[in-house]
Structures are given as C-alpha cells and as structure tokens.
C-alpha cells in the first residue's frame, strides 16, 4: 500500500518527524496485517518530539519505517522554488534564513527502531530505489477490490425511434422484402 503526504498538511513551523510518523501509521488500514512501509524523507533535525519512540510505536502496529536523509551535515539553506522558477531560501518568522543540518545519527536510530533502512541522499540520486528494493522484499498481500458500475440510460428514446425507422424501411422497400413487395401501399 502506498500513501503519499505533502508538507502542506503539517504546520509550517512545526515539522516534526514523530508527528509525520504517527500520521503515516494512522493512515494504514487496520485490517492489513503485512506490507506496511513508511518512507520518511527529512534532514533528521528534530526539535519537537521523540521520533525514535514514535517509530517504535509504529513498528508495534506492523509498520516498517525507512528513512532518507536529505541535506548536508555542515548545514545548508532550504531552497524554495517560486512559480517563475526563481529560487529563494526559507526564512524564519524573524526574517533570518533557515539553515538545515542533516542528522544522520537520528535517522539511523529511527530506521533501526522502525525495522527499516537508512539511505543518505545526494543531489543527483534521492535514494528511493534502494528503499523500494527493501519494500519489494516484504511479504505481499492482495487487497480486495470491489468494482461497481452504475449505468445511466440516456439514449433509449433515440434508440427506439431508430428501431421504428429501421422497421419502416424494411416494410417499405420492395427489394428487401419479397412478401411485402406484392402489397403496393403508395400506388393508386
């Protein structure tokens, strides 16, 4: 089962890994017992809560948590691409540029607590292929699907009118009906 989330569903200044993990773990169907994986793509900085504890709680519910680390351990500004393609950097409420530092130790701990793997991303390759290889090794479960089709009859009157014209043509034309060709409806 694949779920995707956007950063727009989480409060802008309270990005916390534990909140994201808890939200992701709640998103899975409770009936599914296997094949639940969550991919957390983050810099690993955690200012709000205990992400390792949230990963352990999710693992108890059968969710495997993989992490992908994005950023630089030295720190770098967070780019935001505007509609015109212009790149600006994220600012805090005081107008200072926000510097994000990659915390690989935290991401390894989250992945270990979640029985998953940690992959460090580079600029050219995000690391999803390595995570997808791990997910493909998981036990597969078929999900039941019900297909319901509701047809709305719209053209039954036109169909009926066409059928009447077809029968009239069959009756009127002599070439098509040799029995009715002896009856001359339109002659005097």
- For residues 77-99, give the mean pLDDT: 85
* 89, pLDDT greater than 60: yes
Looking at the structure, do residues 78 and 116 belong to the same domain, yes or no?
yes
Looking at the structure, do residues 125 and 32 belong to the same domain, yes or no?
yes
Return the higher-pLDDT residue of 114 and 188. Answer: 114
On whether the pTM is more than 0.85, the answer is no
pLDDT at res. 162: 92
pLDDT at res. 48: 66
- Range with top average pLDDT, 77-91, 101-115, 162-176: 101-115
Domain assignment present for 151 = no
Looking at the structure, do residues 45 and 102 belong to the same domain, yes or no?
yes
Instruction: Show the beta-strand stretches assigned E in 27-78.
Output: 36-42, 63-69, 76-77
What phi and psi values does residue 169 have, to the nearest 5 degrees? -65, -40
Measured distance CA(65)–CA(70) in Å, rounded:
16
Query: Which pLDDT band, with edges at 50, 70 and 90, does 3 fall under?
Result: very low
Looking at the structure, do residues 110 and 188 belong to the same domain, yes or no?
no
**Residue-wise pLDDT tens digits, 36-64:** 888 888 887 766 668 888 889 888 888 88
Indicate the number of domains in the chain.
2
State the CATH number of the domain containing residue 18. Answer: 3.40.50.410
Question: Which domain covers residue 187, as residue numbers?
Answer: 158-188
Looking at the structure, do residues 95 and 28 belong to the same domain, yes or no?
yes
CA 29 from centroid of its chain's CA atoms: 15
| Nearest one of 6, 87, 11 to 49, comparing CA atoms | 11
């Amino acid at each position: 089962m694949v779920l995707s989330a956007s950063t727009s569903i989480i409060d802008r200044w309270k990005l916390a890994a534990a909140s994201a993990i808890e939200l992701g773990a709640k998103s899975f169907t409770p009936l599914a017992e296997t094949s639940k994986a969550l991919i957390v793509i983050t810099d690993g900085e955690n200012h709000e809560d205990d992400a390792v504890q949230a990963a352990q709680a999710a693992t108890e519910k059968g969710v495997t948590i993989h992490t992908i680390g994005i950023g630089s351990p030295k720190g770098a500004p967070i780019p935001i691409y505007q509609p015109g393609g212009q790149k600006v950097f994220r600012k805090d409420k005081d107008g200072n540029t926000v510097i994000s530092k990659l915390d690989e130790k935290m991401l390894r701990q989250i992945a270990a607590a979640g029985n998953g793997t940690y992959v460090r991303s580079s600029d050219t390759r995000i690391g999803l292929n390595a995570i997808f290889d791990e997910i493909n090794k998981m036990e597969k479960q078929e999900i039941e699907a019900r297909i319901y089709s509701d047809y709305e009859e719209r053209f039954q009157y036109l169909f009926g009118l066409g059928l009447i014209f077809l029968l009239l043509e069959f009756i009127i034309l002599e070439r098509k009906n040799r029995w009715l060709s002896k009856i001359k409806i339109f002659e005097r």
